[in-house]
A and B are shown apart, each in its own frame.
Chain A
Amino acid sequence: MTRRVGWTLAGAIPLAFLAVFFAWPVATLVGRGFFPDGPFTLDGFAQVFSDARTWRVIRTTLAQAAAGTVAAVLLGIPGAWVLYRTRFPGRWLVRAIVTVPFVLPSVVVGVAFKSLVISTGPLGHLGLDRSFAIIVASLVFFNYAVVVRTVGGLWASLDPRVEQAASVLGASPGRVFWTITIPALAPAIASAAALVFLFCASAYGVVMVLGGASYGTIETEIWFLTTQLLDLTGAAALSIVQLVVVGAALIVSSRLQASQARAQRLRTDESVESPWTARRDLGPTILTATVVVGLLLFPIATLVQRSLTTASGLGLDHYANLASTGGGTLSVPVWEAVGNSLRTASAATVLALVLGLLVSLVVSRSPRNEVGRRALGLLDAAFMLPLGVSAVTVGFGFLITLNRPPLDLRSSLVLVPIAQALVALPLVVRVLLPVLRAIDPRLREAAAVLGASPGKVLRDIDLAFLGRGLGLATGFAFATALGEFGATSFLARPDQPTLPVVVFRLIGRPGLENQGMGFAAAVLLAVGCAVVMGLAERMRPQEAMTW
């Protein structure tokens, strides 16, 4: 009985957080759209859906999100192999670099990609400007790390002996891969795909910059209708469409995960990694190197180059300027913004980790009845929603819900880490859950039979296996919080800006000095992210026993 109370409480705390800071604001704002002048009406829907533009926007959103997801998954799986199952010198560096795009503000990435492909850019002759391909490339740029890390996290703890046994018994490498490895990884792949799809479906700035004005997405339309027209009825109709799309993606993903989830043989030591060998690893390595160098480093290099370009050639002037307020464009020196970013991101990380751990532990239980299993499935999906719902809807929803005591938080600094945690939380769950689900329940049962208390089982089995996942999740959560801009920009405090806000400001001003400083600040953000991720990688779990 007490056990049940304990688990219910463990689920209730994060759920209450989600309800107050997400569901309530969103439901209230969308609700206003249904009652524009008092009585309930669906006129807004009729108007929105009779517009041909709406359907084009929905098609564009689905097409780019689907293509972005497929491309990121196909390229990410070999990347996960190379970076998490083989050992080679400098691997930590590559792992860190891969995550950098994840924190770069989309305004900077938009500028970097666009500068490459416009007619005067280095890739101008390829005619990629305003093409579907370049949009997909930018989506892969942002989301490659999601696949590599989510899949890699599980792959790194899969016991290789099953595969070894199969190959000793005569299975070809291809057969081993398709019949053993891929099914074992399926939960993580489905999990990563769902995340990437949500990120792609709600991508905002980059798609419009690269694709041109006619590439409007559901997200850009909601932004326009809400912030510029305050047409809450039209925005509500599109928000419902967004929820349906996101909900459908989550259902597909959770079905896939449920049908494939099974206990795996997991290990927490490093024996699963083997030294890099050309015969086995050359193919995936070439592919991964191409992605890392061509797709990730090339645009980042243009940022670095622009951060070093001064009026008199190359130099570090813009970096030196970071110590100042850039001749007045900023209210505080960039170093102060770095401090603000680190503070809020740390708070957001703690919040996301604690709540994410609770959610993962609860969702990874296996209730004996169908109702329980369904409830956990819903709980899991609920925490993914903040990724797929427009930051504008959440931000405007805050204004009309968290507006009276005791929760008048509208001008409070507390909202910034809370908003960041909402976005980071699903990533934490996505990293931890596949690992927890793969733990053989017999392990827990055996421990319990042998007299271990539930607390001890939790600590010595669940948490021990989670060790490496926790390192990854921490890094991920921190990077997400550091780079989060959508929700943060609504809550921005001009006198206490975060680093992405500073980048946004500087890039939005004329003159070489402002621009150069903006790019230098973006490079700083990228380096900071790489360092954090590198450190998180090194967090090693205490060794756990395996069978």
Chain B
Amino acid sequence: MSTNPKGRRAAVAALVTVTALALASCGGTPAASPSGASTSSASQKLTVVTHDSFNLSEEVLAKFKADSGLDVTFVAPGDAGTVTNQLVLTKDSPLGDVVFGIDNTFAGRALAEGVIAPYAAQGLPAADADALKADDSGRLVPIDFGDVCINADTAWFEANGKAVPATLDDLVKPEYADLLVVPNAASSSPGLSFLVATVGAKGDPGWVDYWTQLKANGVLVAKDWTEAYTVQFSGSSGKGPRPLVLSYSTSPAFEVVDGAAPPTASLLQTCFRQVEYAGVIEGAANPEGAQEFIEFLLSPEVQADIPGQMYMYPAVTSTELPAEWVQYAPLSDAPFTVPATEIAEKRDGWIRTWTSTVVG
């Protein structure tokens, strides 16, 4: 066979060029600069790590970028657990400068692993900070909170002539057999929150017995909140078979149609209070920018933006709430609590025990 090295080389060179161009062009914006580089421009960049529900109005974010002059990059690798564990994994070369979205079921882990640097936030009134704190070290700053509660399809109960249950103990009564659906505690953050609520209510290991009763009473375990609420729950647009579901105390406000009272309600005696924190990442390349971002999250604009964007209550409790929240999204006045340190210590074991008890 004859050869034509020139042609071949040209072809290969062309392919190499195309590959390089493809790689170079696919970003559209320049790649992030190496964090930790000691150039003067490093302080102008800020990398914000958040959970995947993070959301703020475009105008509010644009204003922060304009006011601070920072070149902000957001990364959202997953839920609160994923974010926390990624920070732990990358301790030696931090993933970013500031984190938002670690909740109180994972706060203990983040604190124990030392991935959060101390920072005393200015924008949070002392009373609010005290009510929502994760520990006394003042590292994680509360940004928002919400109650994870059982929701009931009140229309269903009315149509079927049953009283709406009120407490955790009601849920194991025979008259409420096969009515409840909850997300899996191993694969869903609200699912884990409800597991912790039962630990708070029944103690450890009393909760195991409670779940055994729930199981005997026909509790259905869905993969995640989406399956539980949008497929299995009868009170959502999915019109599923089960009139009791684990969701948030704010969910009924989103089922309001044309201003009429929502067809669902949350059971305020079944709640776990979830608090979401922000913190400066230990070893951050731009700690000043990180602090600036935390103050931004506590600013009146962002705090007022949180209910509509992230469906949580602002940590600054003097913030004005949307009208339908005042009416249909009440908070529990006695949510179950478990200290973050205890959760950190025992969470993994609880999930494994829960899985073998309820899922089998």
Contact = CB atoms under 8 A, between A and B. Distances in A.
Contact of A408 (B34, B221, B224): B34
A230 B90 contact: no
A412 B34 CA distance: 10
B4 A454 contact: yes
Nearest to A351: B22
Contacts of A161: none
Given A408-B35, A410-B95, A453-B7, A229 B221 contact: no
Contacts of A399: 86, 89-90, 95
Nearest to A518: B230
Given A2-B3, A491-B77, A510 B22 contact: no
B10 interface: yes
B6 to A, nearest CB: 8
Contact of B85 (A2, A228, A348): A228
B338 to A, nearest CB: 17
A2 B9 contact: yes
B261 interface: no
A414 B1 contact: no
B184 interface: yes
A331 B351 contact: no
A511 to B, nearest CB: 3
Interface in A301-359: 306, 309, 311, 325, 327-332, 343-344, 347-348, 350-351, 354-355, 357-358
A484 to B, nearest CB: 14
B241 to A, nearest CB: 5
B40 interface: no
Contacts of B225: 508
Interface string A44-88: 000000000100000000000000000000000000000000000
B58 A332 contact: yes
B344 interface: no
Interface stretch (A139-147, A148-156, A195-203, A207-215): A207-215
A111 B186 CA distance: 20
User: Which size class do B's interface residues fall under?
Assistant: 35 or more
Interface stretch (B12-20, B125-133, B162-170, B270-278): B12-20
Interface in A99-144: 107, 110-111, 114-115, 118-120
B321 interface: no
A400 to B, nearest CB: 6
Interface stretch (A6-14, A173-181, A182-190, A287-295): A6-14
A348 B22 CA distance: 8
A6 B5 contact: yes
B93 A456 contact: no
Contact of A455 (B10, B15, B184): B10
Contacts of B11: 6, 455, 458
Interface in B7-42: 7-12, 15-16, 18-19, 22-23, 25-29, 31-35, 37
A114 B311 CA distance: 26
A359 to B, nearest CB: 11
Contacts of A355: 19
B8 A227 contact: no
B15 A111 contact: no
A205 B27 CA distance: 29
B169 to A, nearest CB: 24
Contacts of A223: 187
A230 B187 CA distance: 14
B90 A227 contact: no
B303 interface: no
Interface string B193-220: 0000000000000000000000000000
A431 B89 CA distance: 38
B26 A351 contact: yes
A417 B28 CA distance: 11
Nearest to B47: A411
B232 A411 contact: no
Dominant secondary structure of chain A at its interface with chain B: helix
A6 B251 CA distance: 62
Given A119-B241, A229-B348, A330-B55, A400 B4 contact: no
Contact of A228 (B75, B81, B96, B247): B81
B2 A453 contact: yes
A169 interface: no
B318 interface: no
B19 A494 contact: no
B7 A118 contact: no
Given A311-B257, A327-B308, A412-B27, A495 B35 contact: no
B260 to A, nearest CB: 10
Contact of A120 (B37, B86, B241): B241
Contacts of B50: 494
Given A9-B12, A403-B90, A118 B231 contact: yes
B73 interface: yes
A19 interface: no
Interface stretch (A90-98, A242-250, A443-451, A470-478): A443-451
A507 interface: yes
Contact of A13 (B19, B55, B230, B237): B19
A213 B10 CA distance: 55
A424 to B, nearest CB: 12
A111 B95 CA distance: 34
A358 B145 CA distance: 52
A227 B53 CA distance: 16
Contacts of A35: none
Interface in B225-284: 225-227, 229-232, 234, 236-241, 247-248, 251, 254-255, 257-258
Given A118-B231, A331-B55, A209 B223 contact: yes
A329 B309 contact: yes
Contacts of A512: 236-237, 255, 257
B66 interface: no
Nearest to A224: B186
B88 interface: yes
Contact of B28 (A118, A332, A343, A409): A343
Contacts of A455: 4, 7-8, 10-11
Contact of A3 (B5, B26, B93, B311): B5
B187 A214 contact: no
Given A328-B308, A455-B7, A354 B19 contact: yes
Given A9-B12, A227-B81, A404 B34 contact: yes
B288 interface: no
A393 interface: no
B157 interface: no
Contacts of B82: 227-228
Specify which of B12, B22, B255 lies most central, judged by the most chain A CB atoms within 10 Å of its CB.
B22
A510 B248 CA distance: 9
Nearest to B311: A509
B187 A495 contact: no
Interface in A407-453: 408-414, 416-418, 445, 448-449, 451-453
A515 B230 contact: yes
A239 B97 CA distance: 31
Given A399-B89, A494-B74, A214 B359 contact: yes
18 contacts: A3-B8, A6-B11, A110-B226, A114-B231, A213-B221, A228-B351, A344-B26, A347-B22, A350-B26, A400-B90, A411-B73, A411-B95, A417-B26, A448-B2, A490-B77, A492-B52, A507-B230, A510-B254
Given A410-B75, A413-B27, A505-B55, 10 more contacts: A115-B240, A213-B359, A347-B22, A347-B26, A350-B22, A396-B86, A414-B27, A452-B2, A455-B7, A456-B4
Sorted from nearest, which 3 A-B pairs have the closest CB atoms?
A347-B26, A455-B7, A511-B254
Interface of B: 1-5, 7-12, 15-16, 18-19, 22-23, 25-29, 31-35, 37, 47, 50, 52-58, 61, 73-79, 81-82, 85-86, 88-90, 93, 95-96, 184, 186-187, 221-227, 229-232, 234, 236-241, 247-248, 251, 254-255, 257-258, 305, 308-309, 311, 348, 351, 355-356, 358-360
